[in-house]
Amino acid sequence: ETGVTQSPTHLIKTRGQQVTLRCSSQSGHNTVSWYQQALGQGPQFIFQYYREEENGRGNFPPRFSGLQFPNYSSELNVNALELDDSALYLCASSAQTGGLVETQYFGPGTRLLVL
């Protein structure tokens, strides 16, 4: 158990809808990263939040957006859902200190199905 929790565990949406996924960081962690893992693929970096600011973004369109709250929990929002957005969405938290690389601890993921 990493202490990182995600909700919901599963979600079904239809094309064009919007979805919000939630992540609660491990205690003491100030950084949250989100990843998309399509079936049979490795996780792909979406973006990272450090102290409530976006701190890096992968190759994902603007309809993928996020928030980090003062308690370091986070949301991933996806607008105008497409079929290809069907995937496991993973949240990972870490304790960033001075820009050093830190181990990321992953939650169990939210499985999103877009019909």
Q: Which residues bind another protein (CB under 8 A)?
A: 2, 4, 31, 33, 35, 40-45, 48, 55-56, 58, 90, 92, 94, 96, 99-109, 111
Please, which residue, 45 or 73, has the CB nearer to another protein?
Answer: 45
SS3 for 43? coil
CB of 16 to another protein, least distance (A): 27
- Min CB(41)–another protein separation in Å: 6
The answer to whether 38 touches 89, Cβ cutoff 8 Å, is no
- The answer to whether the peptide bond before residue 8 is cis (omega within 30 degrees of 0) is yes
For another protein, the closer of residues 90 and 114 by Cβ is 90
Quick one: which of 76, 79, 80, 103 has its CA closest to 90? 76
